[in-house]
């Protein structure tokens, strides 16, 4: 049971991102490097936010405080990634095999967002998964038996959201469209604040709105990348 | 081994040829490269630097690229080619190092987290006489420092010994040494590993089967590492050896000594490679003067280039087939009597350690040598071309194949110490720490390779990565872990 739970949860959380990684990132070295750089950026942001959380001793038990700082630092580092990628665009183009890397401006945004998301997802879930494999099981002592599943589902949501946020954010930065940047920060704060409800066991109240936000973000990101409803439909009809 | 000179000549020319073919065909987009060439301000300086590293190249370079980027178009062009090469040596080759480093780490981490044996401290190396058993922090600190200093001294001593042997051209002794140590790793430590793995997974196995498996495994490893074999297999063995060595370090070094050793080793790496009289630098310079590859057992190479031999190398390498490649300095017949007898146990660890340290400079070959070869091509290529190649190949290799030639090399020592760091991090059972160290090391490796592309001289691969790794290890363990655990427990997602 524990093993099954481990695999189902890890596949639920990391399956789609891994497929995205394998199909879009893995075959291009430059993208892998960008992804790892983004992961490192996320790591730095998390380090800073935990430093803040750690330093402010009296508020340590209030995760809301740490959460707000974490969101702020993450968005700051997203901006940092944006600056870094735009600065090194030319260099990246040169070291890459295909010189097309910069042709679609949001390609890098997507890749770095995936790196961001994967790292945050890994940090959120990897220890939980390690615990899930046993020994022991959930649901005793009044704990919820849905702990792992909800964690995995939320992790998946956060990974995908980070990807979309990066796309929207980079696009907003390119176009100097502060509405998009604001939307990213706000929705990030919203989803994170929503997850505070998990403590109380209100999983439905967290997950459903989070996925609604995810869908909205997906649509916005799709539009940022130049997609329209028509092209969306077309992409299906061409393939079939 | 009597015809070392001619061997090396041929090897160099063959590789030069490869480079030539690569340049001739694979890079149609000159303008980018030229732009970079013009952009480069530090060119003259770097040339001076590796001029000193590698005397042989001055003859080639002096004629073609004396004044720097703003000279005649021909010069500019060749400069551009170098630039192009150096830059091309980017992305894909970085990944080619990422994969083996990752694999090595995965082996170590998987072992550490599934087999208890390697995280239990009971026996220690002879080099670490202080076992950190005192409860006082101060005592632990000086114990760790003393241990790491002793280990460092051993490593330095072995490195110097190797250099002396190399300078005196005692190849047989060196190879006997290397063969002996890899023999021990492949048989003794693999045996221990398999035994513990079987025990951990509770699998019964009789000694006959085990002996059969070990014999085949070990002998094949010896053949593949020291003589010839498919490249993939060789790489796999080298990765496995590095992982084993890392496990040995994790198992037999006391807790804090491991961290101290990591720090000290990366500083030593820095000193040994970058100071003008650094031992590793001397080794590499000597190797480059003699136009020889550094010992194949010490280097992970992403291609076959380092072991290109005199015979049909160009063709073989071009095809990506390894059947005809040979390890040049190593003659299989000379090995048996050459081994200088080492004492078992601790002593072996010692030269393995030294061995890794030496291995670190393997990667130095990549940076500085390349330009020299490309430059030298102009004169000699056509003649050599017709004489050497046994397969009818017009100049250009198909570009992907040609790209294959420019392998990246990383010393096995770097593999080992990266894995030690990650494995040690994972031995505390926190996966976040492991992940953080892993990403930090990869980024460090990236930065090192970036610096290599910029500075074009031999660089130690340990310092940046290990520094990042150590910072992230301690930061994650002390600060990040409580936060991450709290977030995970409360299911707050940021």
Nearest Cα residue in chain B from A150:
B491
Would you state the structure tokens that stand for residue B144, as one six-digit string?
């760790």
Q: Which of A96, A122, A77, A121 is nearest to A31 (CA)?
A: A96
Res B324: pLDDT = 29
Res B421: pLDDT = 92
- Chain A residues in contact with B431 by the CB 8 A cut-off are 126-127, 129-130
Indicate whether B223 pLDDT > 80: yes
Q: What is the ipTM of this complex?
A: 0.91
Secondary structure class of A236 (helix, strand, coil): helix
Nearest Cα residue in chain B from A117:
B494
Rounded CA gap, A234 and A228, in Å? 10
Res B68: pLDDT = 36
Secondary structure class of B242 (helix, strand, coil): helix
Residues B290-311: pLDDT tens digits?
877 666 667 776 554 333 333 2
Res B35: pLDDT = 42
Say whether B94 and A33 touch across the interface (CB within 8 A): yes
Say whether A94 and B36 touch across the interface (CB within 8 A): yes
Q: B411 - beta bridge partners?
A: B299
Res B17: pLDDT = 30
Residues B92-127: pLDDT tens digits?
777 888 888 999 999 999 999 888 888 887 777 777
User: Is A47 or B348 the better-scoring residue by pLDDT?
Assistant: A47
Say whether B486 and A30 touch across the interface (CB within 8 A): no
User: Is B110 or B327 the better-scoring residue by pLDDT?
Assistant: B110
Handedness of CA B360, B43, A93, A75 (dihedral sign): positive
Instruction: Clarify whether B414 is annotated catalytic.
Output: yes
pLDDT average, residue stretch B166-186 = 84
Residue B70: which pLDDT band, with cuts at 50, 70 and 90?
A: very low
**Highest mean pLDDT out of A127-136, B360-369, B379-388:** A127-136
Res B5: pLDDT = 38
Residue B395: which pLDDT band, with cuts at 50, 70 and 90?
A: very low
Rounded CA gap, A137 and A219, in Å? 39
Nearest Cα residue in chain B from A149:
B491
Residues B15-54: pLDDT tens digits?
333 333 332 333 333 444 444 444 443 333 333 333 333 3
Would you state the structure tokens that stand for residue B163, as one six-digit string?
């250099």
Burial grade of B246 (CB within 10 A; 0-12, 13-18, 19 or more): buried
Res B348: pLDDT = 34
Rounded CA gap, B33 and B38, in Å? 9
Res A5: pLDDT = 86
Would you state the structure tokens that stand for residue B145, as one six-digit string?
């420092």
- Chain B residues in contact with A118 by the CB 8 A cut-off are none
Residues B188-213: pLDDT tens digits?
889 989 989 998 899 998 999 999 99
Res B77: pLDDT = 46
Res B409: pLDDT = 72
A231: how many CB neighbours lie within 10 A of its CB? 12
- Chain B residues in contact with A31 by the CB 8 A cut-off are none
Res A219: pLDDT = 92
Of the candidate ranges A137-151, B373-387, B447-461, the one whose mean pLDDT is the lowest: B373-387
Residue B325 · residue B104 · CB < 8 Å = no
Say whether B439 and A119 touch across the interface (CB within 8 A): yes
Low-confidence spans in chain A with pLDDT less than 70: 1, 95-103, 137-143, 238-240
pLDDT averaged over every residue in chain B: 66
Q: Which of A206, A193, A215, A94 is nearest to A150 (CA)?
A: A206
Residues B224-250: pLDDT tens digits?
888 878 888 888 888 898 899 899 888
Identity of the residue in B91, B442, B443 whose CB atom sits nearest the CB atom of A96? B91
Nearest-neighbour CA in chain B from A235: distance (Å): 31
- Chain B residues in contact with A43 by the CB 8 A cut-off are 436, 439-440, 472
Indicate whether B82 pLDDT > 80: no
Indicate whether B260 pLDDT > 60: yes
Instruction: Clarify whether B269 is annotated catalytic.
Output: yes
In B311-411, alpha helices (H):
313-319, 346-359, 366-388, 399-405
The phi and psi torsions of A150 (rounded to 5 degrees) equal -65, -40
Res A77: pLDDT = 94
Q: Residues of chain B with pLDDT > 70: what percent?
A: 59
Q: From chain B, which residues contact A within 8 Å (Cβ)?
A: 29, 32, 36, 87-88, 90-92, 94-95, 98, 403, 429-432, 435-436, 439-440, 442-443, 446, 453, 472, 475-476, 479-480, 482-488, 490-494
Residue B325: which pLDDT band, with cuts at 50, 70 and 90?
A: very low
Identity of the residue in B439, B485, B491 whose CB atom sits nearest the CB atom of A154? B491
Say whether B484 and A124 touch across the interface (CB within 8 A): yes
Res A155: pLDDT = 92
pLDDT average, residue stretch B162-172 = 82
Rounded CA gap, B382 and B378, in Å? 8
Given B269, B352, B361, B403, which residue is catalytic? B269
What lies within 8 Å, CB to CB, of B23 at 6+ separation is B81, B84, B85, B374, B377
The phi and psi torsions of B299 (rounded to 5 degrees) equal -125, 135
Say whether B492 and A196 touch across the interface (CB within 8 A): yes
Res B359: pLDDT = 40
Nearest Cα residue in chain B from A199:
B490
pLDDT average, residue stretch B122-143 = 80
């Amino acid at each position: 049971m524990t093993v099954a739970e481990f695999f189902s949860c890890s596949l639920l959380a990391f399956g789609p991102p891994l497929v995205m990684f394998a199909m879009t990132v893995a075959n291009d070295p430059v993208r892998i490097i960008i992804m790892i750089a983004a992961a490192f950026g996320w790591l730095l942001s998390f380090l800073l936010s935990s430093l803040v959380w750690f330093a402010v001793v009296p508020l340590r038990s209030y995760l809301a405080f740490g959460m707000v700082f974490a969101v702020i630092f993450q968005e700051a580092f997203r901006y940092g990634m944006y600056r870094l990628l735009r600065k090194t665009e030319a260099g990246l183009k040169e070291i890459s095999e295909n010189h097309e890397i910069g042709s679609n401006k949001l390609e890098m945004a997507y890749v770095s967002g995936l790196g961001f998301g994967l790292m945050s997802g890994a940090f959120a879930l990897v220890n939980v998964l390690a615990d899930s494999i046993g020994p022991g099981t959930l649901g005793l002592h009044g704990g919820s038996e849905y702990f792992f599943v909800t964690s995995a589902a939320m992790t998946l949501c956060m990974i995908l959201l980070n990807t979309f946020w990066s796309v929207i954010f980079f696009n907003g930065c390119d176009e100097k469209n502060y509405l998009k940047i604001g939307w990213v920060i706000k929705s990030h704060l919203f989803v994170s604040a929503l997850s505070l409800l998990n403590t109380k066991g209100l999983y439905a109240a967290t997950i459903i709105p989070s996925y609604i936000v995810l869908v909205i973000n997906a649509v916005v990101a799709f539009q940022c990348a130049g997609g329209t409803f028509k092209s969306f439909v077309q992409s299906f009809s061409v393939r079939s | 081994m009597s015809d070392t000179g001619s061997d090396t000549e041929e090897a160099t020319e063959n590789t030069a040829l490869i480079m030539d073919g690569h340049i001739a065909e694979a890079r149609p987009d000159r303008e980018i490269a030229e732009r970079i060439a013009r952009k480069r301000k530090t060119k003259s300086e770097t040339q001076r630097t590796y001029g000193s590293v590698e005397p042989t190249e001055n003859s080639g370079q002096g004629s073609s690229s004396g004044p720097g980027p703003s000279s005649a178009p021909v010069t500019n062009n060749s400069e551009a080619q170098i630039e192009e090469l150096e830059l091309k040596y980017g992305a894909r080759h970085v990944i080619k190092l990422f994969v083996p480093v990752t694999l090595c780490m995965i082996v170590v981490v998987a072992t550490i987290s599934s087999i208890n044996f390697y995280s239990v401290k009971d026996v220690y190396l002879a080099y670490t006489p202080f076992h950190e058993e005192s409860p006082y922090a101060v005592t632990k600190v000086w114990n760790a420092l003393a241990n790491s200093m002793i280990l460092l001294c051993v490593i330095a001593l072995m490195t110097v010994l190797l250099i002396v042997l190399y300078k005196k051209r005692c190849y047989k002794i060196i190879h006997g040494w290397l063969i002996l140590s890899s023999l021990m790793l492949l048989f003794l430590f693999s045996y221990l590993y398999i035994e513990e793995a079987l025990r951990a997974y509770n699998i019964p196995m009789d000694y006959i089967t085990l002996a059969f498996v070990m014999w085949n495994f070990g002998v094949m490893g010896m053949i593949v590492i020291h003589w010839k074999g498919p490249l993939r297999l060789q790489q796999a063995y080298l990765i496995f050896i590095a992982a084993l060595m890392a496990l040995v370090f994790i198992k037999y070094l006391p807790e804090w000594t491991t961290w101290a050793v990591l720090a000290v080793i990366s500083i030593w790496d820095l000193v040994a490679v970058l100071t003008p009289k650094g031992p590793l630098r001397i080794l590499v310079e000597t190797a480059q003067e003699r136009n020889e590859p550094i010992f194949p057992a010490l280097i992970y190479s992403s291609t076959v280039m380092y072991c290109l031999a005199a015979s049909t190398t160009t063709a073989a390498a071009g095809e990506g087939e390894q059947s005809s490649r040979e390890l040049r300095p190593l003659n299989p017949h000379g090995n048996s009597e050459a081994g200088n007898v080492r004492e078992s146990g601790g002593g072996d660890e010692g030269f393995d350690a030294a061995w890794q340290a030496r291995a670190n400079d393997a990667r130095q070959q990549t940076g500085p040598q390349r330009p020299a070869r490309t430059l030298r091509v102009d004169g000699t290529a056509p003649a050599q071309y017709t004489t050497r190649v046994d397969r009818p190949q017009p100049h250009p290799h198909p570009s992907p194949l040609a790209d294959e030639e420019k392998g990246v090399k990383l010393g096995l020592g770097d593999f080992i110490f990266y894995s030690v760091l990650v494995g040690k991090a994972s031995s505390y059972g926190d996966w976040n720490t492991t992940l953080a160290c892993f990403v930090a090391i990869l980024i460090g490796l990236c930065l090192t390779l970036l610096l290599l592309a910029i500075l074009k001289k031999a660089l130690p691969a340990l310092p940046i990565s290990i520094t990042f790794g150590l910072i992230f290890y301690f930061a994650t363990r002390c600060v990040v872990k409580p936060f991450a655990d709290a977030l995970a427990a409360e299911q707050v997602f940021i």
